[in-house]
Amino acid sequence: MAIAFSVNGKPVSVEADADTPLLWALRDDLGLTGTKFGCGIAACGACSVHVDGNLTRSCSVPLGEVAGKAVTTIEGLKSADGVLHKVQAAWIEAQVPQCGYCQSGQIMAAVALIEKVGTPSDAQIDEAMTNICRCGTYPRIRKAILAATGAAAAQQGDA
Amino acid sequence: MADNPNPDIELPEAEAPAAKPKRKGIKRRIFLAGSALVVGGGIFGVWWTDSSVKAKANALIGGEGKHAFGSVMTIAVDDTVTMFSPHIDFGQGSHTALAQMLADELDAKWDKVAIEQAPADMAFANGALAKGFLPTMTGDFAAGLIPDAVIGMMARSMPLMITGGSSAIRFTGEVAMRRTGAAVRAALIAEAADRLGVPESELATADSLVTHAKSGKSLRYGELAAGAAGRSLSSDPVLKTREQWKLIGTGVPRRDIPSKVDGSAVYGIDFTLPEMRVATIAAAPVRGGTLESVDEAPALAVKGVEKVIKLPDAVVVVGKGYWPATKGLQALSPKFSDGGHGAVSTPAIYAAQAKLMAGGKANNEAGEGDVDGAFKAPGAKLVEAEYRVPFLHHAMMEPFALTGHFKDGKLTIWGGLQDPLSTRVKAAKAAGIDVENVTFVPMIMGGGFGRRFPDIVEIIDQIALVAKQVPYPVKLVWSREQEVTHGSYRPQSSAKLSASLKGGAITAMRIDYAQSGNAEGEVPFIYTLPATSRRHFAYQSNQIDGPWRSVNATQLGFYTESFMDELALAAGADPYEFRRKHLSEGSRHQKVLDEVAKRAGWGTPLPAATGRGIAIVESFDTIVAEVVEVALKEDGSPRVVRAFAVVDCGTTVNPLNAEAQIAGGLIMGLSSAMGEAVTLDKGAVVQSNFADYPILKLADAPPAVDVHFLDSGAKTGGIGEPGLPPASPALANALAALTGKRIRNLPVLTQARA
């Protein structure tokens, strides 16, 4: 069956079973491979996207539930004229990624957090940023989030 | 190598004694790749002057307006310098650092330097190493398939195309990249001198320009490239001194990062081709088991499933996408044998290891002095402790995925692996075709940590077999469950440490450990004691014991550095001071230890309910000491609140990246110590995904890691791995300081399981 929704502002229609996870529609059907497969059980967050503005682990959301909704992926964070989102820019400035595989999901989680609370505290970052990074980039993730929200000056230390 | 009379030329070490029993193909190759290198001007010269190698490399990387220098780099007419890295970069940042080393010696303009992955071709491999060490490093099967003529004509100062052993910078960078940059710079100067009719001594280089100050004339590297490429290159060029470095030692941003923040980086799992299908796999739950039977019908009834393929030990479902293939696989009820390993379990392995050590018949022994005599000496206080560590999963975030296309007798494979050349050899063998008919296209990788060495990667054989059975390209993707249950784990290992104390000092120490591999020669024992004994008891289960970031230094570091704290306690001494007095006075180790103590404020009062622990481990020629401060959360589980690392890796090429590697290694070490364990029951792995194999998350990681480098100028050491080993003993030592309870079995959170 064809399921219609929008991705990064553009209407799309995917011919797939309603139980197909959104992740695989994005990757295999729409060719948007910036959203990653890590675990398939919503444990790692590598597949994080926004659905109607809400942070969502796309490996565990059936396509049927996405019908008619607006999906934003990592590819959709830049502005129309190609300017990086401030969180992406902060990620480059802080040189966060190592292998980089989890970073799409980390960035989507960070953007959702900032959109929700504005300037997150350390405790809010702890609570919200639950994506797994095997390379251990967490200190720089924290630093980049604080920098993106202008809170970097308050942060001691570096890593 | 301490007695090597010429520090510029590393002498090959004798092959380390192999563990017994030894699984075929499972070798301690990280260690060998890292420690046994043959380099030097003479060999390098052979490579420079070999016309067939030059021609092959030029054909592969040269082209319109681009001039190749060996197989390392090209200069284009527009001044662009492109470096071809034989190492892959899976997050460790070595591509950028290697380019810094090349560009610095070359005096190239940094923003005109590009980085590319070298093609998987023998023209980019190290013949000198191949000759002596290929059988050890890649397995006999690979050695036999590469003709002697090919090995003989290559001589290149890098360990084939292997990435591992923290070797890229300390070997490839120090030898190949710096030397090539300097030699090409000399050729550019010679070319400019001829063109301008001036002596070479009057010419200077900077920012990709050769300048003649007297006349004010200058020539761009792009203008000189064609002529310079035709000149013979010096095999022993003059290298810059440390004071002359401009790029080495600076934290230039990594080149790969922009593509990793906007989703545009294409990893192996992201690769697609027209008409490509996607497959997934379930292998025998008990490693060593085989596929007995499977009814294919339930899978074929799933919409989008096209084919079920039986492999000797696995079943594969091919579909239009990963989801249909997964649904098809889940519909199957394959029957597997247990290969006779049905009785293997985690407690049984520990029991077998304890029995081996109790038997006292070691497979390998090293050390010096009379340990038994010191233990029995009057007045000696004997301290003993036993430690255990479990199998660990690499948990690279990108699950294995290789795309294969078999057409007209030729196989092409796309994906990410740590050694492109032996990937080709392994795939050729599995497919039953000549290695010349296999092309491998290396792609970037979502982590590796030791998991992606071809001889422990079954998906290479699997994609070769699957691609041969379908008329279209096919991408085989492992589920996370397949990853967790079919890893090549850090070995499960047990140890018994004993030492005698007299007058507050250690008079002798014995380290007995049981596991697959012998760590002697790989993990140095850093303390200076009157008598030491290290005894390896070889034990092999049905699992594949693989190299896991920092290899044997993780468990050996945990054993030794936990025990040093126990000895300090028994001697009534401060753990820092106790270590210090057993390290050689004025040694690099002592300086690293002193610096971390200073930075961490060792001995200063701590906040309430906080413990502090210290540890120091040397691995891959780099010395790292760490201090962690730990507190307990409301549920009683630990959280590291502050962390410090001091590193002596000789020279830090890119401090910004090196800091990230050390901090990341420390956090991965904390993660493994805190909650990670792969356990076995009835021969099969119990855990299946991140729900029961917990990786440390941001909230439980230290908010920042204070990383400091002592640039001692000693032989350049590795940076990707050495940050990890001190973390777990530092954590255990901090917890003991806080709670009084010594943790001897990892992981911390699930000791009951062990």
Q: Which of B258, B323, B695 sits opposite A132 (nearest CB)?
A: B695
Distance from C-alpha of B698 to C-alpha of A122, rounded to nearest angstrom: 11
**B489 vs B151: which has the higher pLDDT:** B489
What distance in Å separates residue A42's CA from the closest CA in chain B?
9
Q: Which of A37, A46, A139 sits opposite B703 (nearest CB)?
A: A139
CB contact under 8 A, A98 and B91: yes
In whole numbers, what is the pLDDT of chain A averaged over residues? 94
Using alpha carbons, select from B691, B49, B588 the residue that is nearest to residue A44. Answer: B691
Burial state string for B348-384 with b = 16 or more CB within 10 A and e = fewer than 16: ebbebbbebbeeeebbbebbeeebeebbeeeebeebe
pLDDT reported for residue B682: 97
Considering only CB atoms, which chain A residues are within 8 Å of B634?
A: none
Please state, for a pLDDT cut of 90, what percent of chain B lies above it.
Answer: 74
Q: Which of A97, A101, A129 sits opposite B398 (nearest CB)?
A: A101
> Scanning the structure block, which residue is given the tokens 């405790």?
A123
Q: Which of B264, B320, B690 sits opposite A43 (nearest CB)?
A: B690
Q: Which of A100, A137, A143 sits opposite B664 (nearest CB)?
A: A137
Query: Which of B397, B640, B676 to mutate to test binding with chain A, by most A CBs within 10 Å of its CB?
Result: B397
What distance in Å separates residue B696's CA from the closest CA in chain A?
7
Determine the 3-state secondary structure of B498 from DSSP: strand
pLDDT reported for residue B72: 82
CB contact under 8 A, A135 and B664: yes
B-chain residue closest to A122, CA distance: B703
Confidence of residue B715 (pLDDT cuts 50, 70, 90): confident
pLDDT reported for residue B34: 29
Q: How many CB pairs under 8 A join A and B?
A: 205
Two tokens, residue B539: 């034990």
B-chain residue closest to A36, CA distance: B398
CB contact under 8 A, B323 and A28: yes
Range with lowest mean pLDDT among B182-186, B233-237, B701-705: B233-237
Please state, for a pLDDT cut of 70, what percent of chain B lies above it.
Answer: 85
CB contact under 8 A, B265 and A129: no
Query: Which of B95, B252, B256, B262 to mutate to test binding with chain A, by most A CBs within 10 Å of its CB?
Result: B262
Cα–Cα–Cα angle for A131, A136, A137, nearest 5°?
80
Q: Which of A39, A95, A101 sits opposite B656 (nearest CB)?
A: A95
Q: Which residues 100-129 in chain A show a CB within 8 A of chain B?
A: 100-104, 107, 122, 125-127, 129
B-chain residue closest to A60, CA distance: B323
> For residue B445, what is the enclosing H or E element?
none
- B313-357 pLDDT tens trace: 999 999 999 999 999 999 999 999 999 999 999 999 999 999 999
Give chain A's radius of gyration (CA, Å): 16
pLDDT reported for residue B161: 57
DSSP one-letter code for B527: -
Instruction: Write out A107-120 in H/E/C secondary structure.
Output: HHHHHHHHHHHCCC
Q: Which of A43, A78, A157 sits opposite B706 (nearest CB)?
A: A157
pLDDT reported for residue B19: 33
Q: How many CB atoms lie within 10 A of CB A121?
A: 12
The identity of residue B588, as a single letter, is: R
**B25 vs B742: which has the higher pLDDT:** B742
**B65 vs B704: which has the higher pLDDT:** B704
**B46 vs B421: which has the higher pLDDT:** B421
Confidence of residue B482 (pLDDT cuts 50, 70, 90): very high
Distance from C-alpha of B306 to C-alpha of B91, rounded to nearest angstrom: 36
Residue A57 has pLDDT above 50, yes or no: yes
Distance from C-alpha of B616 to C-alpha of B626, rounded to nearest angstrom: 6
Residue B119 has pLDDT above 50, yes or no: yes
Distance from C-alpha of B280 to C-alpha of A28, rounded to nearest angstrom: 14
**A103 near A38, Cβ under 8 Å?**
no
CB contact under 8 A, A39 and B689: yes
What distance in Å separates residue B270's CA from the closest CA in chain A?
6
Instruction: Point out which residues pair with B75 in neighbouring strands.
Output: B67, B81
What distance in Å separates residue B275's CA from the closest CA in chain A?
12
Residue B389 has pLDDT above 90, yes or no: yes
What distance in Å separates residue B533's CA from the closest CA in chain A?
35
Q: Which of A21, A103, A129 sits opposite B260 (nearest CB)?
A: A103
Task: Quote ipTM for the complex.
Answer: 0.95
Region A65-89: mean pLDDT is 97
What distance in Å separates residue B329's CA from the closest CA in chain A?
15
pLDDT reported for residue B177: 86
What distance in Å separates residue A59's CA from the closest CA in chain B?
10
- B651-699 pLDDT tens trace: 888 999 999 999 999 999 999 999 999 999 999 999 999 999 999 999 9
- B564-620 pLDDT tens trace: 999 999 999 999 999 999 999 999 999 999 999 999 999 999 999 999 999 999 999
**B568 vs B44: which has the higher pLDDT:** B568
Residue A50 has pLDDT above 50, yes or no: yes
Using alpha carbons, select from B599, B653, B593 the residue that is nearest to residue B623. Answer: B593
Cis peptide leading into B324, omega within 30 of 0? no
Considering only CB atoms, which chain B residues are within 8 Å of A133?
A: 397, 698
Range with lowest mean pLDDT among B87-96, B293-302, B344-353: B87-96
Considering only CB atoms, which chain B residues are within 8 Å of A38?
A: 397-399, 480, 690
Residue B749 has pLDDT above 50, yes or no: yes
**A79 touching chain B per CB within 8 A:** no
Confidence of residue B157 (pLDDT cuts 50, 70, 90): very low
pLDDT reported for residue B129: 35
In Å, how far are B379, B553, B668 from B664, measured between CA atoms?
A: 45, 16, 6
CB contact under 8 A, B253 and A141: no
Q: Which residues 50-69 in chain A show a CB within 8 A of chain B?
A: none
Using alpha carbons, select from B513, B341, B152, B398 the residue that is nearest to residue A37. Answer: B398
DSSP strand E in chain A: where? 2-7, 10-15, 48-51, 54-57, 70-72
pLDDT reported for residue B165: 61
In whole numbers, what is the pLDDT of chain B averaged over residues? 87
User: Residue A121: CB partners within 8 Å, gap ≥ 6?
Assistant: none
List helix spans (H) across B197-294: 221-229
CB contact under 8 A, A97 and B257: yes
What distance in Å separates residue A13's CA from the closest CA in chain B?
16
Distance from C-alpha of B129 to C-alpha of B121, rounded to nearest angstrom: 15
User: Residue B569: CB partners within 8 Å, gap ≥ 6?
Assistant: B575, B736
What distance in Å separates residue A33's CA from the closest CA in chain B?
6
